[in-house]
Amino acid sequence: MRFPHPEVLQVLDPRPLLDDAAAINARYNAGGLLISESLAAALLHRRELWFGTERNVGERLATTADALEITIHILG
């Protein structure tokens, strides 16, 4: 997708979220910055995360998302 419509896909730059991601990781032991960056982005964007399959959602991500009241959606 070269020029996706912004209502369909948004690609976020995680750099501005690093402080929030580090705080989430420290507080919840979320499992690393990749997971924490995803959670920090979800907090800024409607508290939702979307995944292709359930196996893409690890236990730490699911537990932390629940604690932060982030909804996880599975497409497949």
pLDDT given at position 37: 93
The answer to whether the pTM exceeds 0.85 is: no
Concatenating the DSSP letter of every residue in 27-76 gives: HH--SSHHHHHHHHHHHHTTTEEEESSGGGS-HHHHHHHHHTTPEEEE--
Contacts 24+ apart (CB under 8 A), 7-12: 10/45, 12/41, 12/45
DSSP state at residue 21: H
pLDDT given at position 25: 96
User: Tens digit of pLDDT for each residue in 23-37?
Assistant: 999 999 998 988 999
User: Tens digit of pLDDT for each residue in 49-75?
Assistant: 999 999 999 999 999 999 999 999 999
User: Tens digit of pLDDT for each residue in 12-22?
Assistant: 777 899 999 99
